[in-house]
């Protein structure tokens, strides 16, 4: 079949895979190829068990794969054939040299720019899908211009706003699609080609066009604002625990103000995921680079508050369990950084496990989707303390003989568990620390548990 356009995506990760699957689904006349340097990841995209868990994704991949969606490691061939190239490689926080711990590590991204100039033999539209520091497109253009001068490249910014766990829904019904371009004739023409793709299923009024730098910076700002709300309510949860105010009642009352809105006002053990922390730190680094120290300090506090919330949670477990968890079994319910994903990058559960192991607790981790990733995340901790960590897919077994359960991920199935059965199988006094406030605390108390929610009254049987 002759396709109308060839789309290539470099990077078959949490963003590249689902985004391209949805484009392939909605644009059957476009050929969409997703390439990666990681052969294992590509093999898994081509297998029955795709490498990431997202509700609804499996079905879309099965429907489109081999029809107009292809996964391969043939990067050069893909670049040659493509009209539009999305770059969706990882941009983690730099761990070395200048800006270590703050700045974006752009080495993967830069390698793709070099690969493009080595392989391209016709004009291309390059779309930044990765989250990048503002003005990165300028650097991309400089690299591309160093190649064959007869080939024209137009760089667009099209940041991805999907949230893991709801990626398919977010891609099918996005609040908005943002496309940034140079405000030149060529820039606008390239932007129009990208608008045309999304217009297959996204209403025109939800497709926003902007200048390139606004689009790049908007993504960092959106993540900073979302994380800020979490840190804000978490800060208030600490105050609630001291004053007997109830954070859920506060969220409800405050969220009813239409200027504030009700979303992202749930307290928790802190945010995780691959993006919030790295994107805020990147924003902080950029602000400091322009000597905007007050701006940098302001945003950095969002990350510090998150670290505080995670520490507070562990400290509370130790304190409430009579100041020692050494030799006690603690079952961690959930390891993914949020429900409906197997992703554990920056999951607060990593910190919680490590700290409990430092306190010499026996930790049993359970999670419906994230145990493989949890094993990898805890590899070095396990080398130091191999007897203190184990993994158990069944939450009932995980809780057997435990002194405490700490709920870390808001999986729906944890709400449905038979906590009477769990209580009976545990050591007494039995503790439960609800790091997501999703359980029925009063009922748990009546069952016999000592219950510690976040930012709410605790229920204990102690005098
Ligand atoms: N995960 C999210 O929820 C999310 C949401 C919005 C935006 N983003 C941003 O999207 C980008 C990608 O994130 P992700 O979560 O998909 O990352 P990921 O780590 O899951 O995937 C990135 C992929 O790029 C591949 N890659 C790296 N260098 C390459 C190269 N030179 N050539 C070919 N492939 C290469 C890696 O092998 C990997 O498979 C990041 O900038 C991230 O900040 C992520």
* Pocket mutation for ligand 1, best pick of 35, 105, 275, 276 (most atoms within 8 Å of C-beta): 275
Assess whether the C-beta atom of 275 lies below 6 angstroms from ligand 1: yes
CA distance 298 to 294: 6
Q: What is the mean pLDDT of residues 303-324?
A: 98
What's phi and psi for 35, nearest 5 deg?
-120, 155
Element (H, E) at 297: helix 293-320
Tell me the whole-structure pTM to 2 decimals. 0.95
Spacing of C-alpha 209 from chain mean position: 25
Kindly report the CATH class assigned to 5-202: alpha beta
CA distances to 46, 198, 312 from 25, rounded to whole Å, are 16, 12, 45
Q: Looking at 9, 27, 275, 390, which residue is catalytic?
A: 275
Assess whether the C-beta atom of 346 lies below 6 angstroms from ligand 1: no
Residue 463 is predicted with a pLDDT of 82
Q: What is the mean pLDDT of residues 443-456?
A: 98
Residue 337 is predicted with a pLDDT of 97
Dump pLDDT digits (tens) for 194-252. 999 999 999 999 999 999 999 999 999 999 999 999 999 999 999 999 999 999 999 99
* CATH 3.40.50.720 domain residues, the chain: 5-202, 245-463
CA distance 151 to 144: 9
Assess whether the C-beta atom of 38 lies below 6 angstroms from ligand 1: yes
Q: Which fold has domain 245-463?
A: Rossmann fold (3.40.50)
* Pocket mutation for ligand 1, best pick of 18, 36, 92 (most atoms within 8 Å of C-beta): 36
CA distances to 141, 202, 252, 273, 337 from 345, rounded to whole Å, are 31, 30, 30, 5, 7
């Amino acid at each position: 079949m002759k396709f109308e356009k060839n789309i290539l995506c470099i990077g078959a990760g949490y963003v590249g895979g689902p985004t391209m699957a949805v484009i392939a689904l909605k644009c059957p006349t476009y050929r969409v190829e997703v390439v990666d340097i990681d052969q294992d990841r590509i093999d898994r995209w081509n297998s029955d068990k795709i490498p990431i868990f997202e509700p609804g994704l499996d079905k879309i991949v099965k429907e489109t794969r081999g029809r107009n969606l292809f996964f391969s490691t043939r990067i050069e061939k893909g670049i040659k054939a493509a009209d539009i190239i999305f770059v969706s490689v990882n941009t983690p926080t730099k761990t070395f040299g200048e800006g270590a711990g703050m700045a974006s590590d752009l080495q993967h991204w830069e390698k793709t720019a070099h690969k493009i100039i080595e392989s391209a033999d016709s004009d291309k539209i390059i779309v930044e899908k990765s989250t990048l520091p503002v003005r990165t497109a300028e650097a991309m253009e400089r690299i591309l211009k160093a190649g064959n001068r007869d080939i024209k490249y137009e760089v667009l910014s099209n940041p991805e706003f999907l949230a893991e766990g709801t990626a398919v829904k977010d891609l099918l019904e996005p609040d908005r699609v943002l496309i940034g371009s140079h405000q030149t004739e060529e820039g606008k023409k390239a932007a129009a080609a990208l608008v045309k793709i999304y217009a297959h299923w996204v209403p025109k009024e939800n497709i926003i066009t902007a200048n390139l730098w606004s689009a790049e910076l908007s993504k960092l700002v959106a993540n900073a604002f979302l994380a800020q709300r979490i840190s804000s309510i978490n800060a208030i949860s600490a105050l609630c625990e001291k004053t007997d105010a109830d954070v859920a009642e506060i969220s409800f009352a405050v969220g009813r103000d239409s200027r504030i809105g009700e979303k992202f006002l749930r307290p928790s053990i802190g945010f995780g995921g691959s993006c919030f922390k790295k994107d805020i730190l990147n924003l902080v680094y950029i602000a400091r680079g322009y000597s905007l120290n007050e701006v940098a300090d302001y945003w950095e506090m969002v990350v510090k508050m998150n670290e505080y919330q995670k520490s507070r949670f562990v400290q509370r477990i130790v304190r409430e369990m009579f100041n020692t968890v050494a030799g006690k079994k603690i079952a961690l319910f959930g390891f993914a950084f949020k429900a409906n994903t197997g992703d554990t990058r920056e999951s607060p559960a990593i910190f919680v496990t490590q700290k409990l192991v430092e306190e010499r607790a026996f930790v049993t981790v359970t999670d419906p989707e994230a145990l493989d990733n949890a094993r990898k995340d805890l590899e070095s901790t396990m080398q130091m303390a191999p007897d203190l960590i184990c993994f158990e897919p069944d939450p009932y077994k995980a809780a057997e003989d435990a002194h405490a359960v700490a709920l870390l991920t808001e999986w729906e199935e944890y709400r449905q568990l038979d906590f009477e059965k769990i209580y009976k199988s545990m050591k007494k006094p039995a503790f439960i620390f609800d790091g997501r406030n999703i359980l029925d605390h009063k009922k748990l108390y009546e069952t016999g548990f000592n219950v510690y929610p976040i930012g709410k009254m605790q229920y204990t049987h102690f005098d």
